[in-house]
Amino acid sequence: MKTLKNLTVLEHPLLQDKLSTLRDKSTTSHSFRATLSEISTFLAYEATRELSVKLEPLETPLEKTKAPRVSDDVVIVSILRAGEGMVDGFLRALPFARVGHVGIYRDKVMNNTVEYYFRVPESFRGKKVFLLDPLLATGDTVLAALDRLKQYGVGPITFISVLSSKVGIKKINAAHPDVKIITLSVERELNGKGYLLPGLGDAGDRLFRTL
């Protein structure tokens, strides 16, 4: 792990227990979606640890005072399609956030990434971005998404996943050394088809029952 930079691995027992539910092949699509959403809310708390706050007037039942409110304008960006399974969990923690979507897939014939959808909020420049995708495997789609976001001159980017590979993390470290990575597990390896092992299968298929 010493060669992996800007990486936070959350090893909380409750999160690891929920991760085991995602890994279990007998977990239903409904339970998979619910558990991923729950995990995402916890991940959001870790990702937002350094958000700025400012004191604003507030009246409690007993007196007038000043209390901290989040002052950063943040944007959640989902990498389609599996990233959608994390959005609700993040919005539960960040109801004031705006949401963008990036549709990218890796074309095996072209041996390159293909972007088919890109929609982000207006006034995107300089905003803090939380980029969501449950799985970081080869890292190609995440790198393409990061490249596109930086074309808009966004502020600090944090990439959040559930499972990650050493290969994918190293690619992000090399191409985008300023990007922070938060995950629950760095997996043992990738198989010949690019799937994480032990992994949890294809997150999109399990979320939307497209197996």
Please give, one letter per residue, the 3-state secondary structure of 117-159. EEECCCCCCCCEEEEECCEECCCHHHHHHHHHHHHCCCCCEEE
**Residue 110 pLDDT > 80, yes or no?**
no
Burial class (CB in 10 A: 0-12, 13-18, 19+), 85: buried
Query: What pairing do the DSSP bridges indicate for beta strands 112-119 and 98-107?
Result: antiparallel
Nearest to 87 by CA among 102, 73, 72: 102
Question: How far is Cα 113 from Cα 194, in angstroms, rounded to an integer?
Answer: 14
Peptide bond into 198 cis (omega under 30): yes
Confidence band for 109, pLDDT divided at 50, 70 and 90:
low
Q: Which residues contact 20 (CB under 8 A, 6 or more apart)?
A: none
Percent of the chain with pLDDT over 90: 81
Confidence band for 115, pLDDT divided at 50, 70 and 90:
confident
| pLDDT score at 148 | 92
| pLDDT score at 47 | 95
55: tokens are: 């004191």
Confidence band for 106, pLDDT divided at 50, 70 and 90:
confident
Using an 8 Å Cβ cutoff, are 168 and 136 in contact?
Answer: yes
| pLDDT score at 1 | 53
DSSP result, 48-96:
TTT--EEEEEEE-SS-EEEEEEE---EEEEEEETTTHHHHHHHHHH-TT
pLDDT for 167-176, tens place per residue?
999 999 999 9
Q: What domains, with CATH codes, occur in the chain?
A: 7-49+73-208 (3.40.50.2020)
Across the range 64-80, mean pLDDT stands at 95
Q: Which residues contact 26 (CB under 8 A, 6 or more apart)?
A: none
Question: How far is Cα 165 from Cα 150, in angstroms, rounded to an integer?
Answer: 23
Across the range 39-51, mean pLDDT stands at 95
Nearest to 102 by CA among 146, 152, 159, 40: 146
| pLDDT score at 108 | 64
The whole-chain average pLDDT of the chain stands at: 93
Using an 8 Å Cβ cutoff, are 90 and 37 in contact?
Answer: no
Across the range 139-156, mean pLDDT stands at 93
**Residue 100 pLDDT > 80, yes or no?**
yes
> What is the model's pTM?
0.92
Percent of the chain with pLDDT over 70: 97
